Chain A
Amino acid sequence: MTHIEPASPELGAVEVHGMSRSSFILRGALTAGAVYGAGAVAPFVSSAFAASGDIDILNFALTLEYLETDFYKVKAKSVGLSGPAKKYAALFAEEENAHVQALTKAISAGGGTPAKKPTFVFPATNQSSFLKLAYVLENTGVGAYNGAGPSLKNPAYLAAAGSIVQIEARHAATIALITGQKITPDGAFDKPLTKAQVLKKAGPLIKM
Protein backbone atom coordinates (compact mmCIF):
# COMPACT_ATOMS: atom_id res chain seq x y z
CA MET A 1 0.00 0.00 0.00
CA THR A 2 1.60 3.11 -1.11
CA HIS A 3 0.42 6.55 -0.38
CA ILE A 4 0.63 8.81 -3.27
CA GLU A 5 -0.60 12.33 -3.11
CA PRO A 6 -4.17 12.25 -4.18
CA ALA A 7 -3.99 12.97 -7.85
CA SER A 8 -6.61 15.55 -7.34
CA PRO A 9 -9.75 14.73 -5.56
CA GLU A 10 -11.79 17.15 -7.50
CA LEU A 11 -14.03 16.43 -10.37
CA GLY A 12 -12.43 19.18 -12.32
CA ALA A 13 -9.25 17.19 -12.48
CA VAL A 14 -10.85 14.18 -13.99
CA GLU A 15 -9.68 13.72 -17.48
CA VAL A 16 -12.18 14.18 -20.21
CA HIS A 17 -11.77 13.12 -23.76
CA GLY A 18 -13.75 14.25 -26.67
CA MET A 19 -15.89 16.89 -25.09
CA SER A 20 -15.17 20.22 -23.67
CA ARG A 21 -15.64 20.02 -19.99
CA SER A 22 -17.86 23.00 -19.85
CA SER A 23 -20.31 21.24 -22.09
CA PHE A 24 -21.35 19.06 -19.21
CA ILE A 25 -19.79 20.54 -16.15
CA LEU A 26 -22.57 22.91 -15.55
CA ARG A 27 -22.26 25.46 -12.93
CA GLY A 28 -23.88 23.44 -10.24
CA ALA A 29 -27.26 21.94 -10.19
CA LEU A 30 -29.00 25.20 -9.50
CA THR A 31 -27.81 26.41 -12.83
CA ALA A 32 -28.71 23.09 -14.31
CA GLY A 33 -32.19 23.53 -12.94
CA ALA A 34 -32.53 26.84 -14.65
CA VAL A 35 -31.25 25.52 -17.93
CA TYR A 36 -32.95 22.18 -18.07
CA GLY A 37 -35.99 22.69 -15.99
CA ALA A 38 -36.23 22.06 -12.31
CA GLY A 39 -37.52 18.54 -12.88
CA ALA A 40 -34.14 17.21 -13.81
CA VAL A 41 -32.48 18.25 -10.62
CA ALA A 42 -35.38 18.55 -8.27
CA PRO A 43 -33.93 16.31 -5.59
CA PHE A 44 -30.77 18.37 -5.59
CA VAL A 45 -32.38 21.71 -5.32
CA SER A 46 -32.85 23.25 -1.96
CA SER A 47 -30.43 25.35 -0.17
CA ALA A 48 -29.53 23.52 2.98
CA PHE A 49 -30.17 20.20 4.58
CA ALA A 50 -31.41 21.91 7.67
CA ALA A 51 -34.22 23.45 5.71
CA SER A 52 -35.24 20.15 4.19
CA GLY A 53 -37.75 17.66 5.42
CA ASP A 54 -36.76 14.06 5.92
CA ILE A 55 -38.29 12.97 2.64
CA ASP A 56 -36.37 15.65 0.76
CA ILE A 57 -33.17 14.45 2.32
CA LEU A 58 -33.95 10.85 1.50
CA ASN A 59 -34.67 11.83 -2.09
CA PHE A 60 -31.40 13.69 -2.24
CA ALA A 61 -29.67 10.55 -1.01
CA LEU A 62 -31.64 8.44 -3.46
CA THR A 63 -30.40 10.57 -6.33
CA LEU A 64 -26.83 10.11 -5.20
CA GLU A 65 -27.36 6.39 -4.97
CA TYR A 66 -28.86 6.31 -8.46
CA LEU A 67 -25.78 8.11 -9.62
CA GLU A 68 -23.40 5.68 -7.96
CA THR A 69 -25.34 2.66 -9.16
CA ASP A 70 -25.34 3.91 -12.72
CA PHE A 71 -21.66 4.67 -12.47
CA TYR A 72 -20.68 1.21 -11.28
CA LYS A 73 -23.15 -0.64 -13.46
CA VAL A 74 -23.32 1.18 -16.75
CA LYS A 75 -20.23 3.33 -16.88
CA ALA A 76 -18.01 0.55 -15.62
CA LYS A 77 -19.12 -1.59 -18.51
CA SER A 78 -18.56 1.04 -21.15
CA VAL A 79 -15.14 1.94 -19.80
CA GLY A 80 -14.06 -1.68 -19.52
CA LEU A 81 -12.39 -2.53 -16.24
CA SER A 82 -10.04 -5.29 -15.21
CA GLY A 83 -8.50 -6.71 -12.05
CA PRO A 84 -9.53 -5.38 -8.65
CA ALA A 85 -11.27 -2.40 -10.25
CA LYS A 86 -13.63 -4.75 -12.05
CA LYS A 87 -14.20 -6.90 -9.02
CA TYR A 88 -14.99 -4.02 -6.69
CA ALA A 89 -17.07 -2.11 -9.22
CA ALA A 90 -19.29 -5.17 -9.51
CA LEU A 91 -19.62 -5.49 -5.74
CA PHE A 92 -20.23 -1.80 -5.22
CA ALA A 93 -22.82 -1.71 -8.01
CA GLU A 94 -24.84 -4.28 -6.12
CA GLU A 95 -24.53 -2.46 -2.84
CA GLU A 96 -25.41 0.95 -4.26
CA ASN A 97 -28.38 -0.63 -5.96
CA ALA A 98 -29.48 -2.09 -2.63
CA HIS A 99 -29.31 1.44 -1.24
CA VAL A 100 -31.52 2.66 -4.08
CA GLN A 101 -34.07 -0.02 -3.31
CA ALA A 102 -34.05 0.65 0.42
CA LEU A 103 -34.35 4.41 0.05
CA THR A 104 -37.12 4.07 -2.50
CA LYS A 105 -39.04 1.88 -0.09
CA ALA A 106 -38.41 4.19 2.83
CA ILE A 107 -39.60 7.22 0.89
CA SER A 108 -42.77 5.48 -0.24
CA ALA A 109 -43.43 4.14 3.23
CA GLY A 110 -42.97 7.65 4.60
CA GLY A 111 -45.66 8.99 2.29
CA GLY A 112 -43.27 10.59 -0.18
CA THR A 113 -42.73 10.16 -3.86
CA PRO A 114 -39.36 8.66 -4.71
CA ALA A 115 -37.32 10.80 -7.07
CA LYS A 116 -37.04 9.49 -10.59
CA LYS A 117 -33.72 8.31 -11.83
CA PRO A 118 -32.05 11.05 -13.81
CA THR A 119 -29.72 10.50 -16.74
CA PHE A 120 -26.08 10.81 -15.87
CA VAL A 121 -22.95 11.64 -17.74
CA PHE A 122 -19.63 10.57 -16.29
CA PRO A 123 -16.35 12.04 -17.42
CA ALA A 124 -14.39 8.82 -17.39
CA THR A 125 -12.88 7.15 -20.40
CA ASN A 126 -10.57 4.54 -19.00
CA GLN A 127 -9.91 2.64 -15.82
CA SER A 128 -7.72 5.32 -14.38
CA SER A 129 -10.19 8.16 -14.83
CA PHE A 130 -13.01 5.85 -13.73
CA LEU A 131 -11.26 5.14 -10.45
CA LYS A 132 -10.42 8.78 -9.88
CA LEU A 133 -14.06 9.63 -10.30
CA ALA A 134 -15.07 6.71 -8.08
CA TYR A 135 -12.88 8.13 -5.33
CA VAL A 136 -14.54 11.53 -5.63
CA LEU A 137 -18.03 10.06 -5.73
CA GLU A 138 -17.59 7.83 -2.71
CA ASN A 139 -16.02 10.57 -0.65
CA THR A 140 -18.79 12.92 -1.71
CA GLY A 141 -21.30 10.31 -0.62
CA VAL A 142 -19.69 10.09 2.80
CA GLY A 143 -19.71 13.86 3.19
CA ALA A 144 -23.29 14.13 1.99
CA TYR A 145 -24.69 11.60 4.43
CA ASN A 146 -22.62 12.93 7.29
CA GLY A 147 -23.78 16.44 6.48
CA ALA A 148 -27.42 15.47 6.22
CA GLY A 149 -27.56 13.08 9.17
CA PRO A 150 -28.10 15.60 11.95
CA SER A 151 -30.98 17.19 10.04
CA LEU A 152 -33.00 14.00 9.90
CA LYS A 153 -35.87 14.15 12.34
CA ASN A 154 -36.91 10.52 12.25
CA PRO A 155 -34.40 8.37 14.15
CA ALA A 156 -35.20 5.37 11.98
CA TYR A 157 -34.04 7.32 8.93
CA LEU A 158 -30.91 8.34 10.77
CA ALA A 159 -30.18 4.72 11.58
CA ALA A 160 -30.64 3.84 7.93
CA ALA A 161 -28.47 6.69 6.75
CA GLY A 162 -25.78 5.66 9.22
CA SER A 163 -25.91 2.12 8.01
CA ILE A 164 -25.49 3.30 4.43
CA VAL A 165 -22.81 5.91 5.02
CA GLN A 166 -20.58 3.35 6.68
CA ILE A 167 -20.70 1.40 3.42
CA GLU A 168 -19.84 4.50 1.40
CA ALA A 169 -16.84 5.04 3.66
CA ARG A 170 -15.74 1.45 3.18
CA HIS A 171 -16.06 1.86 -0.57
CA ALA A 172 -14.06 5.08 -0.46
CA ALA A 173 -11.27 3.39 1.48
CA THR A 174 -11.20 0.48 -0.93
CA ILE A 175 -10.92 2.76 -3.94
CA ALA A 176 -8.18 4.67 -2.13
CA LEU A 177 -6.29 1.43 -1.58
CA ILE A 178 -6.42 0.28 -5.17
CA THR A 179 -5.43 3.67 -6.49
CA GLY A 180 -2.85 4.68 -3.89
CA GLN A 181 -4.84 7.65 -2.67
CA LYS A 182 -5.49 8.74 0.88
CA ILE A 183 -7.59 6.38 2.96
CA THR A 184 -8.67 9.24 5.19
CA PRO A 185 -8.58 12.31 2.96
CA ASP A 186 -9.95 14.59 5.69
CA GLY A 187 -7.69 13.25 8.43
CA ALA A 188 -9.19 11.99 11.67
CA PHE A 189 -12.66 13.47 11.10
CA ASP A 190 -14.64 13.14 7.92
CA LYS A 191 -15.93 16.54 6.99
CA PRO A 192 -19.64 16.85 6.49
CA LEU A 193 -20.67 18.49 3.24
CA THR A 194 -23.44 20.99 2.81
CA LYS A 195 -26.02 20.44 0.16
CA ALA A 196 -24.41 23.14 -1.95
CA GLN A 197 -21.03 21.42 -1.74
CA VAL A 198 -22.53 18.10 -2.79
CA LEU A 199 -24.32 19.79 -5.67
CA LYS A 200 -21.14 21.34 -6.86
CA LYS A 201 -19.53 17.92 -7.14
CA ALA A 202 -22.44 15.76 -8.24
CA GLY A 203 -24.70 18.21 -10.03
CA PRO A 204 -22.54 18.40 -13.16
CA LEU A 205 -22.95 14.67 -13.65
CA ILE A 206 -26.69 14.97 -14.07
CA LYS A 207 -27.84 15.34 -17.61
CA MET A 208 -31.21 16.03 -19.03
Chain B
Amino acid sequence: MSESTTTDGRRPAHGAVEELVRDDVARKRFLKMAGRRMGAGAAATSFAAFIAACGGSSSSSSTAASTPAATGTSTAAGTSSASAAGSGDLAIVNYALTLEYLESQFYAKVIKSGLFHGANLSVIKTFGAEETQHVAALKKVAMSLGTPASEPTGKFPIHSAGQVTKLARAVENLGAAAYLGQAGSIKSKEILAAALAIHTIEARHAATLQFITNETPTPDGAFAKPMTMAQVLAVVKPFIA
Protein backbone atom coordinates (compact mmCIF):
# COMPACT_ATOMS: atom_id res chain seq x y z
CA MET B 1 0.00 0.00 0.00
CA SER B 2 2.65 2.37 -0.88
CA GLU B 3 2.33 5.69 -2.28
CA SER B 4 0.44 8.17 -3.66
CA THR B 5 -2.36 9.82 -2.22
CA THR B 6 -3.42 10.69 -5.65
CA THR B 7 -4.89 7.24 -5.84
CA ASP B 8 -7.19 7.88 -2.95
CA GLY B 9 -7.94 11.04 -4.68
CA ARG B 10 -9.84 13.34 -2.52
CA ARG B 11 -7.13 14.77 -0.34
CA PRO B 12 -4.92 17.02 -2.36
CA ALA B 13 -3.58 18.63 0.79
CA HIS B 14 -2.49 15.28 2.04
CA GLY B 15 -0.76 14.54 -1.21
CA ALA B 16 1.04 17.81 -1.00
CA VAL B 17 2.29 16.99 2.45
CA GLU B 18 3.68 13.71 1.33
CA GLU B 19 5.30 15.17 -1.69
CA LEU B 20 6.95 17.84 0.31
CA VAL B 21 8.04 15.47 2.97
CA ARG B 22 9.78 13.42 0.36
CA ASP B 23 11.07 16.26 -1.71
CA ASP B 24 14.73 15.58 -2.10
CA VAL B 25 15.46 18.71 -3.99
CA ALA B 26 14.26 21.03 -1.31
CA ARG B 27 16.34 19.40 1.32
CA LYS B 28 20.00 19.07 1.72
CA ARG B 29 22.11 16.03 2.09
CA PHE B 30 24.17 15.84 5.15
CA LEU B 31 27.46 15.79 3.40
CA LYS B 32 26.58 19.05 1.81
CA MET B 33 25.50 20.42 5.09
CA ALA B 34 28.83 19.54 6.55
CA GLY B 35 30.25 22.37 4.57
CA ARG B 36 27.60 24.81 5.54
CA ARG B 37 27.80 27.12 8.42
CA MET B 38 24.83 26.82 10.66
CA GLY B 39 24.00 28.70 13.79
CA ALA B 40 26.80 29.52 16.14
CA GLY B 41 26.47 28.82 19.78
CA ALA B 42 29.02 26.73 21.53
CA ALA B 43 28.70 28.11 25.02
CA ALA B 44 29.36 25.14 27.20
CA THR B 45 26.76 24.67 29.84
CA SER B 46 25.24 21.64 31.35
CA PHE B 47 22.16 20.53 29.53
CA ALA B 48 20.46 18.80 32.36
CA ALA B 49 17.86 21.37 33.23
CA PHE B 50 15.52 20.95 30.38
CA ILE B 51 15.71 17.22 30.26
CA ALA B 52 14.98 17.10 33.95
CA ALA B 53 12.00 19.33 33.35
CA CYS B 54 10.83 16.88 30.74
CA GLY B 55 10.93 14.00 33.11
CA GLY B 56 13.97 12.70 31.34
CA SER B 57 17.12 11.57 33.01
CA SER B 58 19.14 12.56 35.92
CA SER B 59 20.63 15.67 37.20
CA SER B 60 18.98 19.00 37.17
CA SER B 61 19.93 22.56 37.61
CA SER B 62 18.03 25.75 37.27
CA THR B 63 15.65 26.57 34.50
CA ALA B 64 16.80 26.83 30.99
CA ALA B 65 17.70 30.43 31.15
CA SER B 66 19.11 31.60 27.93
CA THR B 67 19.54 34.73 26.01
CA PRO B 68 16.26 35.41 24.32
CA ALA B 69 17.25 38.68 22.84
CA ALA B 70 20.44 37.32 21.43
CA THR B 71 19.42 37.69 17.86
CA GLY B 72 19.55 34.36 16.18
CA THR B 73 21.55 35.01 13.13
CA SER B 74 20.63 32.19 10.83
CA THR B 75 17.53 31.18 12.72
CA ALA B 76 15.76 34.43 12.25
CA ALA B 77 15.56 33.74 8.57
CA GLY B 78 12.76 31.27 8.78
CA THR B 79 10.71 32.85 11.49
CA SER B 80 8.73 35.28 9.47
CA SER B 81 5.65 33.10 9.70
CA ALA B 82 2.95 34.04 12.09
CA SER B 83 3.07 30.91 14.15
CA ALA B 84 6.55 31.31 15.46
CA ALA B 85 7.15 34.23 17.73
CA GLY B 86 10.26 35.71 19.23
CA SER B 87 13.78 35.30 18.03
CA GLY B 88 16.67 32.92 18.56
CA ASP B 89 15.92 29.95 20.77
CA LEU B 90 12.49 31.25 21.71
CA ALA B 91 11.48 31.32 18.08
CA ILE B 92 12.66 27.77 17.63
CA VAL B 93 10.93 26.55 20.76
CA ASN B 94 7.71 28.25 19.73
CA TYR B 95 7.98 26.75 16.30
CA ALA B 96 8.38 23.29 17.80
CA LEU B 97 5.55 24.01 20.22
CA THR B 98 3.26 24.91 17.34
CA LEU B 99 4.07 21.68 15.55
CA GLU B 100 3.53 19.65 18.70
CA TYR B 101 0.19 21.35 19.34
CA LEU B 102 -0.90 20.31 15.87
CA GLU B 103 0.32 16.74 16.30
CA SER B 104 -1.37 16.44 19.64
CA GLN B 105 -4.66 17.78 18.28
CA PHE B 106 -4.39 15.51 15.29
CA TYR B 107 -4.02 12.37 17.35
CA ALA B 108 -6.83 13.45 19.66
CA LYS B 109 -9.09 13.79 16.66
CA VAL B 110 -8.01 10.46 15.27
CA ILE B 111 -8.68 8.72 18.56
CA LYS B 112 -12.11 10.31 18.70
CA SER B 113 -12.89 9.29 15.14
CA GLY B 114 -13.34 5.66 16.09
CA LEU B 115 -11.49 4.57 12.97
CA PHE B 116 -8.90 2.60 14.92
CA HIS B 117 -9.16 -0.30 17.27
CA GLY B 118 -6.99 -2.72 19.12
CA ALA B 119 -3.24 -2.61 18.75
CA ASN B 120 -3.28 0.24 16.24
CA LEU B 121 -5.45 2.34 18.50
CA SER B 122 -3.13 1.75 21.38
CA VAL B 123 -0.15 2.86 19.32
CA ILE B 124 -2.01 5.99 18.31
CA LYS B 125 -2.91 6.70 21.90
CA THR B 126 0.69 6.28 22.96
CA PHE B 127 1.93 8.60 20.24
CA GLY B 128 -0.77 11.15 21.03
CA ALA B 129 0.12 11.13 24.71
CA GLU B 130 3.77 11.60 23.86
CA GLU B 131 3.05 14.59 21.64
CA THR B 132 1.01 16.08 24.45
CA GLN B 133 3.99 15.71 26.76
CA HIS B 134 6.14 17.47 24.18
CA VAL B 135 3.65 20.33 24.20
CA ALA B 136 3.80 20.65 27.97
CA ALA B 137 7.59 20.55 28.07
CA LEU B 138 8.06 23.03 25.25
CA LYS B 139 5.51 25.39 26.69
CA LYS B 140 7.42 25.43 29.94
CA VAL B 141 10.65 26.24 28.15
CA ALA B 142 9.01 28.93 26.05
CA MET B 143 7.66 30.50 29.23
CA SER B 144 11.14 30.56 30.72
CA LEU B 145 12.38 32.43 27.64
CA GLY B 146 9.45 34.75 26.99
CA THR B 147 5.97 34.33 25.61
CA PRO B 148 4.88 30.90 24.40
CA ALA B 149 3.15 30.63 21.04
CA SER B 150 -0.58 30.41 21.40
CA GLU B 151 -2.25 27.17 20.52
CA PRO B 152 -3.27 27.03 16.87
CA THR B 153 -6.51 25.42 15.81
CA GLY B 154 -5.71 22.53 13.57
CA LYS B 155 -7.95 21.20 10.84
CA PHE B 156 -7.26 17.73 9.63
CA PRO B 157 -8.94 15.55 7.06
CA ILE B 158 -10.08 12.41 8.86
CA HIS B 159 -11.76 10.00 6.47
CA SER B 160 -10.51 6.48 6.64
CA ALA B 161 -8.02 4.47 8.61
CA GLY B 162 -5.77 4.14 5.60
CA GLN B 163 -5.84 7.81 4.77
CA VAL B 164 -5.31 8.83 8.38
CA THR B 165 -2.38 6.46 8.77
CA LYS B 166 -0.71 7.97 5.75
CA LEU B 167 -1.35 11.46 7.01
CA ALA B 168 0.10 10.52 10.39
CA ARG B 169 3.11 9.12 8.59
CA ALA B 170 3.60 12.38 6.71
CA VAL B 171 3.16 14.41 9.88
CA GLU B 172 5.73 12.41 11.84
CA ASN B 173 8.29 12.45 9.04
CA LEU B 174 7.78 16.19 8.81
CA GLY B 175 8.23 16.57 12.55
CA ALA B 176 11.46 14.60 12.52
CA ALA B 177 12.82 16.67 9.62
CA ALA B 178 11.74 19.87 11.38
CA TYR B 179 13.65 19.10 14.56
CA LEU B 180 16.66 17.98 12.60
CA GLY B 181 16.58 21.26 10.69
CA GLN B 182 16.88 23.27 13.90
CA ALA B 183 19.57 21.33 15.73
CA GLY B 184 22.43 23.45 14.48
CA SER B 185 20.67 26.73 15.25
CA ILE B 186 19.84 26.21 18.90
CA LYS B 187 22.10 28.23 21.17
CA SER B 188 21.26 26.79 24.55
CA LYS B 189 22.71 23.38 25.28
CA GLU B 190 19.76 22.57 27.49
CA ILE B 191 17.28 23.30 24.76
CA LEU B 192 19.39 21.44 22.22
CA ALA B 193 19.42 18.38 24.46
CA ALA B 194 15.66 18.59 24.76
CA ALA B 195 15.19 18.98 21.04
CA LEU B 196 17.38 15.93 20.44
CA ALA B 197 15.37 13.93 22.97
CA ILE B 198 12.17 14.81 21.15
CA HIS B 199 13.65 14.49 17.67
CA THR B 200 14.31 10.78 18.04
CA ILE B 201 10.80 10.20 19.40
CA GLU B 202 9.36 11.76 16.25
CA ALA B 203 11.71 9.50 14.31
CA ARG B 204 10.46 6.42 16.15
CA HIS B 205 6.89 7.44 15.47
CA ALA B 206 7.67 8.07 11.82
CA ALA B 207 9.40 4.72 11.39
CA THR B 208 6.45 2.97 13.00
CA LEU B 209 4.00 4.56 10.60
CA GLN B 210 6.28 3.82 7.67
CA PHE B 211 6.40 0.21 8.81
CA ILE B 212 2.65 -0.06 9.29
CA THR B 213 2.07 1.22 5.78
CA ASN B 214 4.65 -1.17 4.30
CA GLU B 215 7.11 1.57 3.53
CA THR B 216 10.78 1.52 4.35
CA PRO B 217 11.48 2.83 7.85
CA THR B 218 14.25 5.03 6.47
CA PRO B 219 12.81 6.89 3.48
CA ASP B 220 15.85 9.19 3.27
CA GLY B 221 18.31 6.32 3.32
CA ALA B 222 21.22 6.26 5.76
CA PHE B 223 21.10 9.99 6.49
CA ALA B 224 17.90 11.72 7.51
CA LYS B 225 17.30 14.99 5.76
CA PRO B 226 16.49 18.19 7.59
CA MET B 227 13.87 20.72 6.56
CA THR B 228 14.03 24.43 7.18
CA MET B 229 11.46 26.29 9.22
CA ALA B 230 10.10 27.96 6.10
CA GLN B 231 9.69 24.64 4.32
CA VAL B 232 7.93 23.04 7.24
CA LEU B 233 5.60 25.96 7.88
CA ALA B 234 4.60 26.00 4.24
CA VAL B 235 3.56 22.37 4.52
CA VAL B 236 1.76 22.88 7.78
CA LYS B 237 -0.16 25.98 6.79
CA PRO B 238 -3.14 24.21 5.19
CA PHE B 239 -3.67 22.36 8.45
CA ILE B 240 -4.13 25.49 10.52
CA ALA B 241 -7.63 26.90 10.63
Show the binding face of A for B, using Cβ within 8 Å. Answer: 1-3, 50, 88, 91, 94-96, 98-99, 102, 106, 142, 145-146, 149-151, 153, 155-160, 162-174, 176-177, 183-184, 186-192
Chain B residues contacting A172 (CB-CB under 8 Å) are 204
Q: Do the beta carbons of A188 and B199 come within 8 Å of each other?
A: no
If the complex has contacts A149-B193, A177-B208, are A163 and B200 also in contact, measured as CB distance less than 8 A?
no
Bound Cα distance from A113 to B159, whole angstroms: 55
Chain A residues contacting B123 (CB-CB under 8 Å) are 1, 183
Chain B residues contacting A99 (CB-CB under 8 Å) are 222
- Is B218 part of the contact surface with A, judged by Cβ < 8 Å? yes
How far does the Cβ of B125 sit from chain A's closest Cβ, in whole Å? 11
Q: Do the beta carbons of B226 and A170 come within 8 Å of each other?
A: no
Chain A residues contacting B40 (CB-CB under 8 Å) are 155
Show the binding face of B for A, using Cβ within 8 Å. Answer: 30-31, 33-42, 44, 46-47, 51, 54-57, 119-120, 122-123, 126, 129-131, 133-134, 137, 176, 180, 183-184, 189, 192-194, 196-201, 203-208, 210-212, 216-218, 221-226
Interface residues of A: mostly helix, strand, loop or mixed?
A: helix
Chain B residues contacting A188 (CB-CB under 8 Å) are 54-55, 129-131, 133-134, 137, 198, 201
Contact of A159 among B38, B126, B204 (CB under 8 A): B38
Instruction: Kindly report which residue of chain A lies nearest to residue B219, judged by CB atoms.
Output: A170
Q: Do the beta carbons of A162 and B196 come within 8 Å of each other?
A: yes
Known: A95-B221, A102-B30, A174-B211; 14 extra A-B contacts, CB below 8 A, are A150-B189, A164-B224, A165-B199, A166-B203, A167-B223, A169-B199, A169-B201, A170-B210, A173-B203, A176-B204, A184-B205, A188-B133, A188-B137, A190-B197
Q: Do the beta carbons of A98 and B221 come within 8 Å of each other?
A: yes
How far does the Cβ of B34 sit from chain A's closest Cβ, in whole Å? 4
Bound Cα distance from A165 to B59, whole angstroms: 23
Chain A residues contacting B46 (CB-CB under 8 Å) are 50
Chain B residues contacting A164 (CB-CB under 8 Å) are 30, 222-224
How far does the Cβ of A97 sit from chain B's closest Cβ, in whole Å? 8
Contact of B199 among A162, A171, A183 (CB under 8 A): A162
Bound Cα distance from A1 to B209, whole angstroms: 11
Bound Cα distance from A149 to B55, whole angstroms: 19
Q: Do the beta carbons of B204 and A169 come within 8 Å of each other?
A: yes
Closest A-B pairs by Cβ, 6 of them: A98-B222, A166-B224, A170-B207, A169-B203, A169-B200, A188-B133
Instruction: Kindly report which residue of chain B lies nearest to residue A162, judged by CB atoms.
Output: B183
Chain B residues contacting A151 (CB-CB under 8 Å) are 44
Contact of A102 among B31, B189, B199 (CB under 8 A): B31
Chain B residues contacting A174 (CB-CB under 8 Å) are 207, 211, 217
Instruction: Kindly report which residue of chain A lies nearest to residue B122, judged by CB atoms.
Output: A3
Bound Cα distance from A50 to B33, whole angstroms: 24
How far does the Cβ of A75 sit from chain B's closest Cβ, in whole Å? 19
Interface centre among A96, A98, A156, A168 (most CB of B within 10 A): A156
Chain B residues contacting A102 (CB-CB under 8 Å) are 30-31, 222-223
How far does the Cβ of A127 sit from chain B's closest Cβ, in whole Å? 18
How far does the Cβ of A46 sit from chain B's closest Cβ, in whole Å? 16
Instruction: Kindly report which residue of chain B lies nearest to residue A164, judged by CB atoms.
Output: B223
29 A–B pairs (Cβ distance < 8 Å), ordered by A: A2-B119, A50-B46, A95-B222, A102-B30, A106-B34, A146-B200, A149-B183, A149-B196, A150-B47, A150-B193, A155-B39, A155-B184, A156-B33, A156-B34, A159-B30, A159-B180, A162-B196, A163-B30, A163-B224, A164-B223, A167-B203, A173-B207, A173-B217, A174-B217, A176-B204, A186-B56, A188-B130, A190-B197, A191-B56
If the complex has contacts A102-B223, A159-B226, A171-B217, are A189 and B197 also in contact, measured as CB distance less than 8 A?
yes
Chain B residues contacting A106 (CB-CB under 8 Å) are 34
Chain B residues contacting A168 (CB-CB under 8 Å) are 200
